[in-house]
Structure 1
Amino acid sequence: IVRLHGVPSSIISDRDPRFTSRFWQSLHQALGTKLKLSSAYHPQTDGQSERTIQSLEDLLRACVLDHLGSWEDVLPLVEFTYNNSFHASIGMAPFEALYGRRCRTPLCWYQDGESVVVGPELIL
């Protein structure tokens, strides 16, 4: 994340010891990042992340079942799919929100709205 987007201004996390140790507290202080901890046993506090994780799990499960491979093999396809899918909360795909344009994809869109993948090997 930092390599691509810079240091975040805040991070929401559960109360995992990895994020509550003195090391991480010192790192957050040095980076100027505010650490926001969710309530114990209440993952709904970070609903946005929980929803994203659920969507990614669903995509991974569907791709692994469809391609009969391991999740590591289909992860690039899942990432591409997620980043180019419409998100109602932002009114566009994450790729479009980040780059200000729609992603050129190896999909053919037919008049009836059905999409067909022309070359999935281009993504994988």
Structure 2
Amino acid sequence: MGEQKGSTNDATKLSLIFLKSLFARFGTPRAIISDRGTHFCNDQFAKVMLKYGVTHRLSTAYHPQTSGQVEVSNHGLKRILERTVGKNHTSWSNKLDDALWAFRTAFKIPIGCTPYKLVYGKACHLPIELEHKAYWALKHCNFDLKTAGDHRKVQMNELNELRDQAYENSLIYKEKTKKIHDSKIKNRVFNVGDRVLLFNS
């Protein structure tokens, strides 16, 4: 009974995290791909996904390669940390924020922009830039809600166009990579009597 209550609490927490941290900040996605953990496979999570019209897809069991983008991102972060962390590897947690900032603001060829721009729709500005431009922005906005609202709608449309463009760039990059890979494959011609290795002999 206690175990079941604990899992229910976990499911409730996860649903709240999705609603507050992800959906409220970035909007509801079209689909979510997750593993087959009990956090994602329960009635409460399914109800939340159904309510907001999100398609929930499950990855193959014991197959982490399903989340390919996550694997690529983790590999990139690992390389950054390997270069920045010294001989004392316990300092990696202190360097993680800097590594994440470097990763998010670096230009990615497959999507044709930075991950930061893909999420927020604008270039990453340093605090010193914001400090000097804060008064100008406040004066420019002038607390006119209609103007600010219209400007925000334009920004949202631009962000959608940017994401569509990033998706197309990603597909083009994948096609080019596949062509390069396929060009290196050599076609083998086997004759009767040749010794070959069978996959399942």
Same fold (TM over 0.5): yes
Between Structure 1 and Structure 2, the one with more helix by share is 2
Tell me the CA shift for residue 12 of structure 1.
Answer: 1.0
- Unpaired runs of 5+ residues, structure 2, are 1-21, 128-201
Q: How many Å separate the matches in 2 of 1:14 and 1:95?
A: 25
Opposite residue 96 of structure 1, the aligned amino acid is: K
Q: How many Å separate the matches in 2 of 1:63 and 1:25?
A: 41
Secondary structure in structure 2 of the residue aligned to 1:20: coil
Would the alpha carbon gap of residues 63 and 25 (structure 1) be closer, same or farther in structure 2, given more than 3 Å must change?
A: farther
Would the alpha carbon gap of residues 8 and 71 (structure 1) be closer, same or farther in structure 2, given more than 3 Å must change?
A: farther
Between Structure 1 and Structure 2, the one with more strand by share is 1
1:86 and 2:111 equivalent?
A: no
- Unpaired runs of 5+ residues, structure 1, are 107-124
Tell me the CA shift for residue 99 of structure 1.
Answer: 4.9
Q: What is the Cα-based RMSD across aligned positions, in Å?
A: 2.7
1:40 and 2:61 equivalent?
A: yes
Q: Give the TM-score, by structure 1 length.
A: 0.66
Would the alpha carbon gap of residues 62 and 35 (structure 1) be closer, same or farther in structure 2, given more than 3 Å must change?
A: farther
Superposed structure 1 runs of 4+ greater than 6 Å apart = none
Identity %: 32
Aligned pair count?
106
Deviation string, structure 1 residues 10-59 (Cα, Å, up to 9, x no partner): 11111111111222112211222111111112222221122122222333
1:64 and 2:85 equivalent?
A: yes
Q: Which residue among 30, 43, 58 is the counterpart of 1:22?
A: 43
Secondary structure in structure 2 of the residue aligned to 1:90: coil
Opposite residue 79 of structure 2, the aligned amino acid is: D
Would the alpha carbon gap of residues 27 and 96 (structure 1) be closer, same or farther in structure 2, given more than 3 Å must change?
A: closer
Q: How many Å separate the matches in 2 of 1:3 and 1:72?
A: 28
Q: How many Å separate the matches in 2 of 1:70 and 1:3?
A: 33
**Highest CA radius of gyration, 1 or 2?**
2
Would the alpha carbon gap of residues 18 and 99 (structure 1) be closer, same or farther in structure 2, given more than 3 Å must change?
A: closer
Q: How many Å separate the matches in 2 of 1:70 and 1:30?
A: 43
Q: Give the TM-score, by structure 2 length.
A: 0.44
